Amino acid sequence: MTVTFVKLPSHPPFSVFIPTAGQAPSRALRAAAFALAALVLGAQETPRPNRVAWFEGFPEPLPEGVTEVALESSSQFLRPDMEHSADGRTFARLDGDAWQVTADFAHALGSSRLNLRVRLSERSGGITDQLIWNWHSLLGVDQGGRQYAPKNRLAYHLERDGIVVGDLSRPGLALMDVDIAWVRPFGTPDAGGRFGASVQLPTGKQSDFSGDGGTDGLVGAALWRRYGHWRVFGQAERVVLVLPEHSVLRTVLDRTSFSRAWASLGWRGDGDGPLSGLGIEVALAYAGSPYRTGIVRIDRAGWQQHWTFRHTRLPRWRFGFSEEAGTYTAPDITAFTAYRFGER
């Protein structure tokens, strides 16, 4: 059998033998080709998730299936004058910082990818209150109620009709719920997509907002297209919560499934200079809310903006931040840096 030596594009150098036209490839060669295609397509990135405490226990977004470790820092705050529902039945308080390590462990499985996501979060009163105060003062904008709350306070609390759903007031390290995902890519790096599903295991605790106490699920799909230096990307998901029958979380929910979506536009430079090698991606994220508490900043669907930066001189690194986009249902700000192993 005659073979041709082919190098696949858009990936660190490697090669694979592919049979010439008119000859049937062996099963081993087909499997190898599909596996390598999955590795290439993994580079189409998923935007960062919403890190507000009310949603931290729900399934993570469908990953791309790339081994990566990220450090995330979030500052969260709910205005004191919005802590009570109009009917007086719900009380919520949100004030604190979180430092989180998010680790993805990916493994090729034929033409698909398996991904294990583990998160460790250190939650405390933090140090960002004064920084945000100074920033708002510099811009001449309202402090958003921070002037009525103690600085550097840790207070995550949610209760309904006197029943405490969750409470966190002591700083500490927490293992969040763990996600296991199956992802199947298709198409090419220039025009393609992926679909998959995930299961979230209850390794965290619903009582301190590190989990929701259930074994939840998610199905989702993503599409992308490149136009020269530009790239457009979209991802949509349906989250299903499978809570214990007597879960106290049910007292503040009116549904156990909701949708999420991201749409992004990115520019990727290919030069070597400070500007010519820069890549920027801006994403707008939508997250439905399963809550019904009577507090609008918990119950309504949220919009969030994500900014991600990369450079050709640091091909394995990503830097960025996200912020709420007018609905105040996301953290004040989340900053992150991520390092990718194997994929760039």
**269 membership: H or E segment, kind and range:** none
Residue 305 has pLDDT above 90, yes or no: yes
Confidence of residue 343 (pLDDT cuts 50, 70, 90): low
Confidence of residue 167 (pLDDT cuts 50, 70, 90): very high
> At residue 140, what is the residue type?
G
Residue of 145, 22, 128, 143 whose CA lies nearest to 79? 145
Residue of 110, 107, 109 whose CA lies nearest to 29? 110
Confidence of residue 129 (pLDDT cuts 50, 70, 90): confident
pLDDT for 27 equals 52
- Tell how far CA 282 is from the center of its chain: 14
Within 13 Å and on the Cβ side, how many CA atoms surround 201?
Answer: 10
Confidence of residue 1 (pLDDT cuts 50, 70, 90): very low
Confidence of residue 194 (pLDDT cuts 50, 70, 90): very high
Residue 290 has pLDDT above 60, yes or no: yes
Q: Identify the weakest region by mean pLDDT among 13-22, 69-78, 113-122, 293-302.
A: 13-22
Residue 270 has pLDDT above 50, yes or no: yes
Please count the other Cβ atoms lying within 10 Å of the Cβ belonging to residue 104.
24
Q: Identify the weakest region by mean pLDDT among 45-49, 52-56, 205-209, 322-326.
A: 45-49
Place of tokens 């949603």: 55
pLDDT for 331 equals 77
- DSSP reduced 3-state for 252: helix
Residue 78 has pLDDT above 60, yes or no: yes
Percent of the chain with pLDDT over 70: 86
Q: How many helices (DSSP H) and strands (DSSP E) are in the chain?
A: 3, 17
CA distances from residue 146 to 53, 143, 256 in whole angstroms, order as listed: 18, 6, 33
Structural tokens at position 100: 């989180």
Average pLDDT in the 129-138 region?
Answer: 78
- Asked whether the CA dihedral 36, 37, 40, 46 is positive or negative, the reply is negative
What are the chain's domains? 1-41 (no CATH), 42-340 (2.40.160.40)
Beta strand 112-124 pairing with 90-109: antiparallel
Confidence of residue 344 (pLDDT cuts 50, 70, 90): low
> At residue 233, what is the residue type?
F
Confidence of residue 298 (pLDDT cuts 50, 70, 90): very high
Please count the other Cβ atoms lying within 10 Å of the Cβ belonging to residue 69.
15
Residue 156 has pLDDT above 80, yes or no: yes
Residue 141 has pLDDT above 80, yes or no: no
- 197 vs 141, more confident: 197
pLDDT for 160 equals 96
User: Can you tell me the distance from the alpha carbon of 286 to that of 141, in angstroms, rounded to the nearest whole number?
Assistant: 25
Question: What's the pLDDT tens digit per position in 18-42?
Answer: 344 444 445 544 444 444 433 344 4
Q: What is the mean pLDDT of the chain?
A: 86
